[in-house]
């Protein structure tokens, strides 16, 4: 993402955060425990919403401009657990096999270059029984007008919005990576363009 997008990101997302995302993030993150890794953490919108009882949080963000905002958020947020910052891409998490209890991905699996590769990495670093907590915007149902719009707009959208894809079938990809889907909610994101609205959020487990 460009420096400009990184600077404006929180302002651009403010309406959506207030309308739904803050509430959804809080409810999802309440499931976190133990050692947690968040990928593509952006400006750190989730940071203040982690439950105080987790042991350790590793936030990673590959974009240098976003990472600077994230560092500021880490410095200004009082949390009860140890927090570290890394620059890992989702496709290459420099974390030991089976060393993490929970991985968090919010609005990231739309943007990674290799979604299947990222999910394989998440699966690798999770302990058996560990969980992926996801909140992602996804493809609309195929055959609908919205899906046609998504396909039309996607080539331009990817260029202006940091490689954000509109037509990824992320729920299916999570299952294909070997996870068991334990919870999924499908709901429209609010205060975003119609082609970004379809979303999923929930919890997938690495079989124990």
Ligand X SMILES: C[S@@+](CC[C@H](N)C(=O)[O-])C[C@H]1O[C@@H](n2cnc3c(N)ncnc32)[C@H](O)[C@@H]1O
Which of 35, 62, 130, 192 is in the footprint of ligand X by CB under 6 A? 62
- Rounded to 5°, the CA angle 101-106-108 comes to 105
In the region spanning residues 42 to 61, those forming contacts with ligand X, defined by CB under 6 A, are: 42, 45, 61
Which of 7, 91, 149, 197 is in the footprint of ligand X by CB under 6 A? 91
Beta-bridge partners for 199: 137, 187
Cβ-contact 83, 113 below 8 angstroms: no
Rounded CA separation 126/54 (Å): 16
Which of 29, 41, 177, 204 is in the footprint of ligand X by CB under 6 A? 41
Rounded CA separation 192/104 (Å): 22
In the region spanning residues 141 to 160, those forming contacts with ligand X, defined by CB under 6 A, are: none
Which of 59, 112, 177, 189 is in the footprint of ligand X by CB under 6 A? 112
Sign of CA dihedral 60, 127, 136, 21: negative
Is 148 or 186 the residue whose CB approaches ligand X more closely? 186
Rounded CA separation 1/160 (Å): 9
Does residue 109 bind ligand X (CB under 6 A)? Answer: no
Does residue 66 bind ligand X (CB under 6 A)? Answer: yes
Among 39-47, 141-149, 177-185, 196-204, which window interacts with ligand X (CB under 6 A)? Answer: 39-47
Does residue 130 bind ligand X (CB under 6 A)? Answer: no
H helices of the chain, in order, are 3-16, 22-29, 64-76, 115-125, 145-160, 170-176
Residues 6+ apart with CB under 8 A from 75: none
Taking the complex as a whole, the smallest distance from the CB of residue 65 to ligand X amounts, in Å, to 9
Does residue 10 bind ligand X (CB under 6 A)? Answer: no
- Judge residue 95's burial from the number of C-beta atoms within 10 Å of its C-beta, 0-12 exposed, 13-18 middle, 19 or more buried: buried
Among 109-117, 165-173, 181-189, 199-207, which window interacts with ligand X (CB under 6 A)? Answer: 109-117
Rounded CA separation 204/135 (Å): 11
Does residue 90 bind ligand X (CB under 6 A)? Answer: yes
Which of 40, 130, 198, 202 is in the footprint of ligand X by CB under 6 A? 40
Does residue 100 bind ligand X (CB under 6 A)? Answer: no
Chain residues in the site for ligand X (CB under 6 A): 1, 39-42, 45, 61-63, 66, 89-91, 106-108, 111-113, 162
């Amino acid at each position: 993402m460009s420096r400009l997008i990184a600077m404006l990101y929180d302002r651009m997302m403010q309406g959506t955060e207030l309308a739904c995302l803050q509430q959804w993030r809080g409810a999802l993150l309440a499931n976190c425990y133990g050692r947690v890794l968040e990928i593509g953490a952006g400006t750190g919108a989730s940071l203040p919403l982690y439950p105080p009882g987790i042991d350790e949080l590793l936030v990673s963000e590959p974009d240098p401009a976003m990472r600077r905002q994230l560092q500021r958020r880490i410095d200004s947020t009082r949390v009860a657990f140890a927090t570290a910052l890394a620059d890992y891409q989702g496709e290459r998490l420099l974390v030991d096999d089976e060393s993490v209890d929970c991985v968090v991905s919010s609005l990231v699996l739309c943007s990674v270059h290799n979604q299947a590769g990222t999910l394989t990495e998440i699966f690798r670093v999770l302990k058996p029984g560990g969980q992926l907590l996801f909140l992602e915007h996804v493809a609309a149902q195929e055959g609908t007008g919205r899906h046609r719009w998504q396909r039309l707009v996607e080539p331009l959208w990817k260029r202006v919005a940091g490689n954000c894809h509109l037509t990824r079938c992320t729920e299916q990809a999570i299952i294909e990576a070997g996870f068991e889907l334990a919870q999924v909610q499908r709901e429209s994101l609010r205060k975003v363009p119609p082609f970004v609205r379809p979303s999923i959020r929930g919890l997938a487990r690495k079989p124990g």
